[in-house]
Amino acid sequence: MLKTFRFALMAGAMLALAPQAFAETPKDTLVIAENIDDIISLDPAEAYELSGIQVLANTYDRIMRFEPTDINKLVGGVAESVTPSEDGKTFTFKIRSGMKFTSGNPVTANDAAFSLRRVIKLNKTPVFLLSQLGWTPENIDQMVTAPDESTLVVKIGVDFAPSLVYALLSSVVGSVVDEKVAMEHAKDGDFGYEWLKTNSAGSGAYSLKVWKPNESVVLEANPGYRGGEASMKRVVIRHVPEPAAQRLLIEKGDTDVALNMTGDQITGLKDNKDVVITPSPQALLYYIGMNVKTKELQDARVRQALRYLIDYDGIVNSIMQGGAQIHQSFWASGFWAALDDNPYKLDVEKAKALLKEAGYPDGFSIDLDAPNSSPFANIAQSVQATMAQAGVKVNIISSETKTLLTKYRAREHKLLMIYWGPDYMDPHTNADGFANNGDNSDAASKGKPLAWRNSWVDEAVNAATAAAVKERDEGKRKQMYLDLQKKVLDDGPYAIMFQETKLVATRANVKNFIFGPSADVVYYNLTTK
């Protein structure tokens, strides 16, 4: 039923419309139409959903930040500068002076230390970002200290390259929380967690006025922000789940920005002079995981063959329509140390030869799990059609994402199509997911990285991942990641296909709406209209 439903919605959206813009949003208010049904918390120690992180990128300042214009350039946020020690295990941050939280309290090194300790002690989902630095609830008070109001000293218990440490402190858990306000609302030792889920206590460009789940998020400009008060005094993010409805809103001028329109809707807006479409390449990858537990998939040649049986160009042009670009290695293009080789294209003859070598001259039958939502359902059908050309009969099983993930995490799939976004802006996050598999037993004591889920383990790859984390020479480190990507590209249990391109639609009068490659780099405060 849902399928018919979506089809009808799309058909409806294609009805020709002569837009007449009489409605207008207020001059100092930025209205964003977005699907925000993923937000479960707006506490920076817990939020780990894309829409939530976007909001938090605007309501909290972080210890380190990315330049809005250059994702590869880390700059100080709350910190003015940082000095690593000789052994690379102690980092001394100097905190900017004169900054204030929205409460009026000054921002000090104590608040920064409190915020990092809070993440570790609360132990919520994103805690792994910081706990990998060797931090535990027991040692965190010694590892993170504030000897005076403007000095934050951070010690790490592992050998990590400094650039990786800075990247971690620029992620959402590096948000600096107002200690006084948080502790005023604390109960039962929760560090203000219950309260901060729905309130903000930061020094970002905005403060949170209200969050109504599945309805709206309203932000108010912080006049004391270190970057100057934003020209948009109010930001209203309105939950609009249907892409067709988003299109209508932006055509009518009832919203300034629409974030979830699909390729065909964007195509329909091409001739509209009131709406500007800006493509923004994202770090999100679409891929098919191949479970090596499956007999046929144990042979690297079969996995290779399947990668030759996907019509990459066709899918990008006809299904994604500008919503993705081809990318086949595990670290997205445009980021530091990304491998931009895309050696695979649809080549049925080559695939047949590989299958023959592997002992499957007539192909075989195999299940493919895929999300039942757009665009996955369409991609799955394309894959089914092209694989059939070499005798590989694909049986598509579509389901809701959560059902799919449950199956994936239990390693019960054969082929499974899904997406993956990095946790922070360093290639280690994806190397750790796609390449590293420290314990391939069902108990998975080391967690369930993607390599584990596909039962793929290569000791040399594990060793290379571990070595790359420690390398302090940037040039060498980059080469190590390029090699690792090549190895996984040739031999790994994945067909990585595409890198998402976000098609951001704004009204023509909206300038400087910054939508970076990840949710951490979405800035509302530079926008004017």
> Which residues form the interface with other proteins (CB under 8 A)?
4-5, 8-9, 12-13, 15, 17-20, 22-23, 25-26, 29, 31, 37, 40-41, 48-49, 123-128, 131, 197, 209-210, 212-216, 218, 236, 238-242, 244-245, 248-249, 251-252, 254-255, 399-400, 402-403, 405-407, 409, 423, 444-445, 447
Provide the CA 144 distance to its chain's centre, in angstroms.
27
Residues 6+ apart with CB under 8 A from 252: 19, 21, 23
| Shortest distance in whole angstroms from residue 163 CB to other proteins | 22
Nearer to other proteins, 77 or 422 (CB): 422
Nearer to other proteins, 213 or 314 (CB): 213
| Shortest distance in whole angstroms from residue 131 CB to other proteins | 7
Nearer to other proteins, 246 or 304 (CB): 246
Q: Which helix (H) or strand (E) holds 282?
A: strand 275-290
Q: Rounded distance, CA 156 to CA 164, Å?
A: 12
| Shortest distance in whole angstroms from residue 354 CB to other proteins | 32
Q: Rounded distance, CA 378 to CA 380, Å?
A: 5
Are 34 and 23 in contact, with CB atoms under 8 Å apart? no
DSSP 210-239: EEETTTEEEEEE-TT-TT---S-SEEEEEE
427 cis-preceded (ω within 30 degrees of 0) = no
Query: CA of 362: how far to CAs of 307, 338, 352, 366, 392, in Å?
Result: 17, 37, 8, 13, 8
Nearer to other proteins, 414 or 477 (CB): 414
| Shortest distance in whole angstroms from residue 239 CB to other proteins | 7
Nearer to other proteins, 246 or 386 (CB): 246
Exposure class string for 311-330: b at 16+ Cβ within 10 A, else e: bbeebbeebbbbbbbbbbbb
| Shortest distance in whole angstroms from residue 33 CB to other proteins | 9
What are the helix (H) ranges across 363-420?
Answer: 376-388, 401-409
Nearer to other proteins, 251 or 471 (CB): 251
| Shortest distance in whole angstroms from residue 126 CB to other proteins | 8
Please name every residue paired with 397 in a beta bridge, in sequence order, or none if there are none. 369
| Shortest distance in whole angstroms from residue 400 CB to other proteins | 5
Nearer to other proteins, 43 or 311 (CB): 43
Q: Rounded distance, CA 289 to CA 457, Å?
A: 14
Nearer to other proteins, 389 or 399 (CB): 399
Query: CA of 81: how far to CAs of 64, 65, 75, 248, in Å?
Result: 9, 12, 8, 46
| Shortest distance in whole angstroms from residue 196 CB to other proteins | 11
